[in-house]
Structure 1
């Protein structure tokens, strides 16, 4: 990677998905640049880079922009292969674990946190999340569901305890992996927001010790940059992505096709442009923006829809 292309993370400190990326920086001892974005829209310097994708975090390296932690982790593993996120042949399990941690476990944690915070949640945040989700962000319903959310949180954390009981200090055995970072996200999120986290986890001593080990990984070497500076880096750089077709694409998509890419659950804002690279796990599209210049935006395939643009 050229020295003049920093690894930039657009994030906010309270974001649990951003915490996953920060821990990967720590695990791989990466020097990175932090660009703090608002917890809510608007984000006028970031949207030109992403084409409208508004979930957090986003990683930028020059004029290549990586959306979703799946995409971010694949690129970090490619550029910084040691230490690996997948020691001991754990890659399949580690990737698949995100479908648990980022969906059902995360939704449970969100409902528990915001139901407990209740009237402390700003109205501006509620309105922003309703736009993001395309549905009501019902704090009253979350508050009413707290007993069920405690039950479910206990069940999820119990699975971590059971896995740790099987052997080494990490979920995959004797080395930290992406499996640990995925599972830790929700434990970190609840502990960061709720004083009752200790009593919720009191019966899980292995989880408590594991949590301390993950936290000790740290965040690598962090420096700060403004959103305007990051936008200028994107505008001044040239995308490094090489054109690549996927000969096994089940829908016959190819480089040059005009497509809409969007998450399949929430934040369903379509980013439209032409395919520049395609694989079973990722899709990259090349965009031209008046503010950002020529950029390539990268998305994962799992959890995202790719539709022909009409």
Structure 2
């Protein structure tokens, strides 16, 4: 789709959630612009665009800002439908798989990785993540829990092995799907950080072969841009989102309502704006920033709270 505006991803290379999106770029052969952000705050050129949302990654298309991998993936599938992320159907289950891979599986993986890295984790990173989580980022407790985390990681990987043993080369059959993308994030994160990754996968031959196939997908065509350049693109662009209400909204929300949107688990920073569009799966709010100008910020509904602004 060469006439479309540029796809800009604000990310850092070590981010497992960003790896999901980079793999989709590879699977769909998308040319994209990489804007590398700091792993920790501050992010002075990104916050004006997101309104304070600070989880990674964020996708930008002009003055439309897409937060959370759920919403980014939905937009990429809409704009680049081939090859599909749902080659065998089962779209609902494939999308819902993120509630496993991004929450319980990922939390297990995070504890295993940071517990193993222990004193190699910078204090600045720990302090940043404590602010993000609103709770102690307890490296000592993670280290003490390594035996339990290895047990649980093995159980998760065992499910992947079982699925691969009973089907084709991919988790849902003969072609890669969103389920593969969601699951791979955690395998990639351990591989990227722990030298014992081979040891931990030794008993899972199907997973090891699948991991190699996933790695071979690549990241599409990547070029680099500065954070300042991306902010300027947002400032001079106009949002392209059309107004769209939803008569079936269970809380009778409507276009123009002033609301706060925040994650329901961590990084609970409210982004305030007026509803532009909403559906069962997505909500977009319009906001004005003195630096970024007029912006529309897009969120998923699952995993996010929408409350009236007070």
TM-score, reference length from structure 2: 0.99
> 1:247 deviation in Å?
1.1
- Provide the residue aligned with 2:265 in structure 1: 265
- Provide the residue aligned with 2:168 in structure 1: 168
Alignment partner of 1:281 is 2:281 = yes
- Provide the residue aligned with 2:7 in structure 1: 7
> 1:3 deviation in Å?
3.9
- Provide the residue aligned with 2:222 in structure 1: 222
> 1:2 deviation in Å?
7.4
- Provide the residue aligned with 2:136 in structure 1: 136
Q: How does 1:142-157 map to 2 (within 5 A)?
A: 142-157=142-157
- Provide the residue aligned with 1:212 in structure 2: 212
What is the aligned residue count? 310
**Structure 1 stretches lacking a partner, 5+ long:** none
> 1:90 deviation in Å?
2.2
> 1:13 deviation in Å?
0.1
Partner SS for 1:231:
helix
Looking at structure 1, the residues matched to 73 and 90 of structure 2 have their Cα atoms a distance apart, in angstroms, of: 14
Looking at structure 2, the residues matched to 224 and 4 of structure 1 have their Cα atoms a distance apart, in angstroms, of: 18
- Provide the residue aligned with 2:19 in structure 1: 19
Looking at structure 2, the residues matched to 86 and 264 of structure 1 have their Cα atoms a distance apart, in angstroms, of: 27
**1:196-241 residue CA offsets vs partner (Å, 9 max, x unmatched):** 0111110000000000001100000000000000000000100000
> 1:4 deviation in Å?
7.1
- Provide the residue aligned with 1:231 in structure 2: 231
- Provide the residue aligned with 2:189 in structure 1: 189
Partner SS for 2:14:
coil
Alignment partner of 1:124 is 2:124 = yes
> 1:7 deviation in Å?
0.2
- Provide the residue aligned with 1:80 in structure 2: 80
Alignment partner of 1:44 is 2:44 = yes
Partner SS for 1:273:
strand
Looking at structure 1, the residues matched to 2 and 44 of structure 2 have their Cα atoms a distance apart, in angstroms, of: 27
- Provide the residue aligned with 1:243 in structure 2: 243
**1:233-282 residue CA offsets vs partner (Å, 9 max, x unmatched):** 00010000000001110110000001000000000000011100000000
**Structure 2 stretches lacking a partner, 5+ long:** none
Partner SS for 1:160:
helix
Q: How does 1:41-120 map to 2 (within 5 A)?
A: 41-120=41-120
Q: How does 1:282-301 map to 2 (within 5 A)?
A: 282-301=282-301
- Provide the residue aligned with 2:31 in structure 1: 31
> 1:104 deviation in Å?
0.2
**1:55-108 residue CA offsets vs partner (Å, 9 max, x unmatched):** 000000000000000100110011101000111112111101100000000000
> 1:166 deviation in Å?
1.0
Looking at structure 2, the residues matched to 10 and 164 of structure 1 have their Cα atoms a distance apart, in angstroms, of: 33
Looking at structure 2, the residues matched to 243 and 166 of structure 1 have their Cα atoms a distance apart, in angstroms, of: 45
Q: CA RMSD in A?
A: 0.8
Looking at structure 2, the residues matched to 170 and 279 of structure 1 have their Cα atoms a distance apart, in angstroms, of: 31
Looking at structure 2, the residues matched to 2 and 164 of structure 1 have their Cα atoms a distance apart, in angstroms, of: 36
Partner SS for 1:296:
strand
Partner SS for 2:88:
coil
